[in-house]
A and B are shown apart, each in its own frame.
Chain A
Amino acid sequence: MRVSPGGRRRVRQALVILFHQRASAIGTSITLVFVMAALFGPLLAPYGLNQQFASATFQPPSPAHWFGTDELGRDVFSRVLLGARDILAFAGLGTLLAVILGATVGLFSGYTGGLVDEIIMRAFDGLLSLPAMLLALLLLASLATSDLSVIIVLVVVYTPIVARVVRSVVLSVKDLAYVRAAQLQGEGLGWILYRAILPATYPALAVEGALRFSYAIFLIASLGFLGIGFQPPSANWGMMVSDARQLATAAPWALYFPAAAIAVVVVGVNLLADGLKRIAQTLPESQR
């Protein structure tokens, strides 16, 4: 695909806008820090995930163990750092698949219209009428517990939401002259959907994707807390919170730090989504 001439300039513009507002600058920075942790965690972590210091259980935060140690003498900082990769990777992958699938369904359904659109959208309405958590629990109960199941849950839960957002954009552009012009020049369905209409949905997709990503992190952490979805020895922050809960009086830091990690990254990604929304709104109509 050709990079459009204004593409690089627009990316720079977008970054300027993101960092211009304090809230979105903070959100972007937080997200970047967590992404770095996910990418380079194993290099940065002072200790291993399950490395135990038998002599140093229930240690409060200290220069040796920044976030303290838990009941098994594991370094909480290392565990939080190493936990970033799992949770971000799963949330990211699940969101990405949901965005791809949702965009495809939304494009097709909105463009085709009529009865097909009605059927798809009513089915999605049905899915959306269940709370995300309930839907996730129902699915996990019927699937084998594996990493794949968690991804499937995210895709099932978020695809309808993304599809609805994309469809609403499609409805607003599908009667525009450029779509008609594409029909007149004999373009096929794929070209019309992905080359002509899809770019118009990018701003909405970026915002929705970021938002879904933050909710995906939240959902995975919640499932971990309930002890569903992930199996030890992986370090799911939710699971860490759950484990530390029973010993909260003895080692509150083992509870606080993973909980804070969840809260901070969710808030950070949300702020980033807000920033993206602002960029989408400042783009002139013709560039959307």
Chain B
Amino acid sequence: MTPGPSHIPLLEVESLTVAYAGAGRLLDAVREVSLIIHEGETYGLVGESGSGKTTLALSVMRYLPRSAVIRQGRILLGGSDLLALDAKAMRTIWGQQIAFVPQDPYSSLNPSMRIGEQLSEAIRADGIDRRAARERALDLLADVHLPDPPLIAESYPHQISGGMRQRVLIAMAVSREPKLLVMDEPTTGLDTTTQATILDLIRDLIRKRRTSVLYVSHNLGVVAQVCDRVAVLYAGELLEDAPAVRLYARPLHPYTQGLLDSVPRLGQNKRRISLRAVAGRPPSPGDTRSGCVFMARCPLAIELCKEAPALIQADKGHDTRCHRWKEIESGSADPRQPARAKAGRVQSPVTGPEVLALLDVEVHYPIRRSLADMVSRRARQVRAVNGVSLSIRRGLALGLVGESGSGKTTLATAIMGLVERTGGEMRLLGKLLPSRIARRDAATLARMQMIFQDVDESFVPTMSIAEIVRRPLIRLGGSRADEASPKVIGLLEAVHLPPEYADRLPVQLSGGERQRVAIARALASKPDLLVADEPVSSLDVSVQASVLNLLNDIQAERDSGLIFISHDLAVIGYISDVVAVIYLGRLMQVAPADEVFDPPYHPYTEALLSAIPLIDPKGLQERIRLEGDTPSPVEIPSGCPFHTRCPRFLGEVCVTVDPPEQRTASGGLIRCHIPLDALQEAQRRVFHFSFPVEGSD
């Protein structure tokens, strides 16, 4: 990617152990981690929550909070120990030698200062005069490809979008030409299409400036796209460290393999093969540990693993911390969880009894801020959902994919009656569905249930798991209080949770376990329709797969309809039978899951596919980038709502005329002015993996 890193070490972390004071003792967050970043190298640090990746990044920056203690180790930058420097000396390092790009572009800029001022303030630390700094700030804003730098410089942070703020932060970090950039999840929280443009920018900057980067992320795809070298961190220990291409193609640690298998690849569908999930729950910081940190979840664990393995060089530049790496390399031990091949439960998406029918559903709501707005009737409207027609059938999963602001969550809450529908109609099992939940009877409520995006917020914190699952049994399942308890245990078993969890509180469970409880609760009333709103996006990578498989099994077993909402097209492609792509409250494309990854695409689908970071450093992807940001749902563009950003923009017709619904041979739908055969001709398959992916062709 870059012209190739040199062999001169820039940053050397030697046997670093960082602990936090907690519960009267020190808990190690990072344990004896050693790594080297060479000049011009982009080093990716991958880990799940609690792996210690952010702690490590902050240690390098010397930004650790007071409660953290560096127990041992050295951090050398160009040969001199950063840990030996005092705050005053660090001031000459920050900005000039190393700079930080933080995770949260919302809280990392001063909300009361103009962008230009903030940027030139950072530059003026070099002693440049005000005017020169201002010039330089404008150059930098142009360098990070921000449109109209003078305008941006005059703006306050809240006036520009999240993606733009992230660009400003990057500009700030590179402003004084540091040798090392530390980036902590710089694209997390951004939309996929915005993320793609930021990743392009990062790659571009690295190549031009030959800067070294420590790139911290939980996202394997993102790391594959930008890094030369990747290390995998788990429970504070480095488990594997290898060149990116090698790590993704031939991982030598069972955890790395597990992580790679947990994420569905684009085009991988459940019908062919289920995801291989990593068993068990992620460790928490208080856990006592001896031996290999991954032992408890490792399918290859043997007696020997009770002794802690050392980080061994398996090959030149490829280290792994596993006793059994040789067997893994030779293929005699397979760290992969047994995958279950599916019996090709292929159903045509247009047959089967209909559970839910949506006809021209519209959800508009006024922006009301004050009493005056409430009295006057001329409030501005947020047009969140605009004429959506869909059919959800028994035993089938409909995947609804869209970026933030696309209206996908509003549509789900409108279906559930949690927000009022302002137009169109909905039918559940043929019967008209009242718009508001207050008008729906218990039998109707029982037939449809929802799994919420924020697992942590979906339970009353003071209620036990048993109580959480028991309530819907009594309210909707028709159980009497005394017969509900055995059913609670049955439901917990159905979601693979042990019965003793019944007495626990939600806080005592891990994120994945909580999501299972949410599923159990939703199943209590034996619904015919499940609506799952981003059910895995707040979960760690290694537990996502098991929740996806669980949802999939349950849906197949109970033959219910499923609406699965996500911003992640790979996840959608995996779990769905039918995929619906939504943009500004309108369906742009509806297609069977097999077809959505092949042309003809709607131009928006094409751009989305192109923006997804492939989990394959050598994979090929067409480069289609969207300009600007999604327009506000308050002012939806006329004609085709996508025309302001469309890479295949035709002309006047897109601006003035509502695009027609074109039907594909398989019954899919593409809403575009470009005829299907013309699209087919112009488009190629957007992505190709460098290695064969199970379950796809």
* A interface list, Cβ under 8 A from B: 2, 4-6, 114-115, 118, 176-178, 180-187, 195-196, 199-200, 284, 286-288
Contacts and interface: CB of A to CB of B under 8 A. Distances in A.
Nearest to B445: A186
B125 interface: no
A286 B475 CA distance: 25
Given A6-B505, A180-B416, A185-B445, 18 more contacts: A4-B463, A4-B505, A5-B505, A114-B374, A118-B371, A176-B454, A176-B458, A177-B458, A180-B413, A181-B521, A184-B416, A185-B524, A186-B446, A195-B463, A196-B460, A199-B461, A199-B462, A288-B461
Nearest to B461: A286
A171 B454 CA distance: 18
Interface string B103-121: 0000000000000000000
Contact of B507 (A183, A186, A286): A286
24 contacts: A2-B464, A4-B462, A5-B464, A176-B457, A178-B459, A180-B452, A181-B450, A181-B452, A181-B458, A181-B521, A183-B418, A184-B445, A184-B449, A185-B445, A185-B472, A185-B475, A185-B476, A186-B445, A186-B446, A186-B472, A196-B460, A286-B461, A286-B507, A287-B507
A4 B371 CA distance: 41
B460 A5 contact: no
B452 A177 contact: yes
Interface in B295-347: none
Interface string B460-483: 111110010001100110000000
Contacts of B257: none
B437 A184 contact: yes
A183 B458 contact: no
Interface string B242-259: 000000000000000000
A147 to B, nearest CB: 36
- Greatest chain B CB density within 10 A among A4, A178, A200 is at A178
Nearest to B442: A186
B44 interface: no
Contacts, number: 81
By CB atoms of chain B within 10 A, which of A2, A115, A181, A199 has the most?
A181
Enumerate the 6 nearest inter-chain pairs by beta-carbon distance, A residue then B residue, closest first. A177-B458, A177-B452, A185-B472, A199-B462, A177-B457, A176-B457
B462 to A, nearest CB: 4
Nearest to A181: B458
Residue in B454, B461, B463, B476 with the greatest tally of chain A CB atoms within 10 Å: B461
B504 interface: yes
A127 to B, nearest CB: 19
B173 to A, nearest CB: 30
A181 B454 CA distance: 11
A6 B462 CA distance: 9
Nearest to A195: B460
B549 interface: no
Nearest to B450: A184
B450 to A, nearest CB: 6
B453 interface: yes
B219 interface: no
Interface hub of B374, B454, B458 (most chain A Cβ within 10 A): B458
Given A186-B442, A186-B475, A177 B505 contact: no
A286 B456 contact: yes
A180 B418 contact: yes
A178 B476 contact: no
Contacts of B471: 182, 185, 187
B504 A187 contact: no
A224 to B, nearest CB: 40
A200 B459 CA distance: 12
Contact of A118 (B374, B416, B454, B457): B374
B506 A286 contact: yes
Contacts of B371: 118
